[in-house]
């Protein structure tokens, strides 16, 4: 136990020294504020473009302020998709400002290694990203759900789903996770011939069963769990809800989708750290021969390439039914390995 306590104590001591250092506090605060500003700007730009595109749906029932409120409710959760890139850009801008002011040179002369400087500058975005992840789980997701519910009164977005179970062909439109409408049930005999066809107005989905609510006989049919929740609705589940949902799902395809969302949220802070780590190493590696602006462009490009590689990795692992955790850890590991190599060359 004593051997394990020594590295832990040293790490805590290092973090305390970083926090207490004046330049470190300034760099952390600067990177935090700039990252928050970059995320807010990206959020505003996305909201503005979406609002302009949605204005073509103006009608007597759905006015400008109705559309504005619907988009506003969902925008905060939607902005989480820009979290990694905005944290990357915020860190690089903070480093470039420090470099122009000569503070990076002072820190290097004071004994701060490039790795330590990138570590310090990355603390601000990491803290900000953790705050956003917390509010996304506790507030943003609820606002997004309210937006979808409010929007359903103006648009019929539910899709007709069909499935075959116990000699029944069942089609329905899902209103939400539990309620369905426009139910069509076609029954077959052993010779695969149609024996009856019924239409019902509404019903409920509970525990793998479809309960018809507008029939006096209260008919019940088996209905696969995999059809209960659409992919769009899954994305609006909190992390805790996804963990609970994973224990109740039996379909392997659904478990892969749920695991993908769980690991995406669980590993997001580590993913942000990996992108900042590599971008910082490249900035120090080439800052002697090129301008800081060029380094920012390179860092942003790395962020987009990383997103592309990550999406490709996730799609491949889902297609071939491979462990989905590796789909997220593989790109992160590649970035950390390249960054470590670049830091050794500085």
* Residues 158 and 214: beta-carbon distance below 8 Å: no
- 271 and 328 Cβ atoms separated by less than 8 Å: yes
Residue 84 has pLDDT above 80, yes or no: yes
Return d(Cα 273, Cα 293) in angstroms, integer. 21
Top pLDDT among 157 and 256 is at 256
Residue written as tokens 């029944």?
Answer: 168
In the predicted model, what is the mean pLDDT of residues 23-31? 83
pLDDT for res 136: 92
Cβ-Cβ contacts under 8 Å for 189 (sequence gap 6 or more): 167, 195
From the list 331, 306, 346, the residue with the least C-alpha distance to 89 is 306
Q: What tokens were used for 269?
A: 């802070």
Q: What rounded mean pLDDT belongs to the chain?
A: 78
Report yes or no on whether pTM surpasses 0.85.
no
Mean pLDDT of 50-75: 84
3-state DSSP assignment of residue 214: coil
Q: What is the pLDDT of residues 202-213, one digit of tens each?
A: 888 777 778 888
Per-residue confidence (pLDDT) for residue 160, from 0 to 100: 67
Rounded-to-integer distance, Cα 279 and Cα 275, Å: 6
**Which of 73-87, 100-114, 288-302 is predicted least confidently?**
288-302
Check whether 97 has a pLDDT greater than 70. Answer: yes
* Of 151 and 94, more confident: 94
Of 119 and 23, the structure prediction assigns the larger pLDDT to 119
Q: What is the pLDDT of residues 39-52, one digit of tens each?
A: 999 999 999 999 99
How far is Cα 146 from Cα 279, in angstroms, rounded to an integer? 38
- 238-281 residue pLDDT tens: 888 888 777 766 556 567 788 888 999 999 989 988 888 887 77
């Amino acid at each position: 136990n004593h051997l394990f306590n020594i590295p832990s104590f040293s790490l805590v001591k290092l973090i305390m020294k970083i926090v207490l250092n004046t330049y470190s506090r300034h760099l952390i605060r600067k990177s935090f504020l700039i990252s928050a500003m970059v995320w807010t700007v990206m959020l505003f730009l996305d909201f503005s473009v979406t609002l302009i595109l949605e204005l073509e749906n103006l009608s007597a029932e759905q006015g400008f302020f109705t559309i504005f409120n619907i988009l506003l409710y969902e925008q905060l959760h939607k902005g989480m998709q820009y979290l990694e890139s905005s944290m990357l850009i915020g860190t690089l801008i903070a480093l470039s400002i420090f470099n122009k002011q000569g503070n990076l040179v002072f820190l290097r002369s004071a004994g701060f290694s490039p790795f330590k400087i990138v570590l310090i500058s990355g603390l601000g975005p990491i803290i900000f990203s953790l705050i956003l992840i917390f509010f996304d789980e506790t507030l943003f997701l609820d606002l997004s759900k309210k937006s979808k519910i409010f929007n359903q009164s103006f648009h019929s977005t539910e899709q007709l789903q069909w499935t075959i179970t116990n000699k029944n062909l069942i089609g329905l439109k899902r209103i939400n996770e539990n309620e369905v409408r426009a139910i069509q049930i076609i029954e077959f005999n052993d010779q695969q011939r149609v024996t009856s066809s019924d239409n019902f107005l509404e019903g409920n989905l509970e525990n793998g069963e479809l309960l018809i609510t507008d029939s006096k006989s209260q008919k019940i049919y088996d209905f696969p769990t995999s059809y209960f929740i659409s992919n769009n609705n899954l994305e609006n589940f909190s992390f805790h809800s996804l963990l609970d949902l994973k224990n109740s799902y039996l379909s392997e395809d659904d478990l892969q989708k749920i695991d993908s969302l769980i690991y995406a949220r669980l590993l997001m802070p580590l993913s942000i750290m990996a992108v900042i780590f590599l971008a910082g190493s490249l900035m120090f590696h080439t800052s002697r021969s090129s301008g800081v602006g060029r380094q920012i462009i390179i860092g942003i490009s790395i962020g987009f390439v990383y997103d592309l590689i990550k999406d490709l990795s996730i799609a491949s692992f889902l297609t071939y039914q491979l462990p989905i955790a590796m789909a997220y850890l593989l790109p992160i590991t590649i970035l950390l390995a390249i960054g470590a190599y670049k830091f050794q060359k500085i």
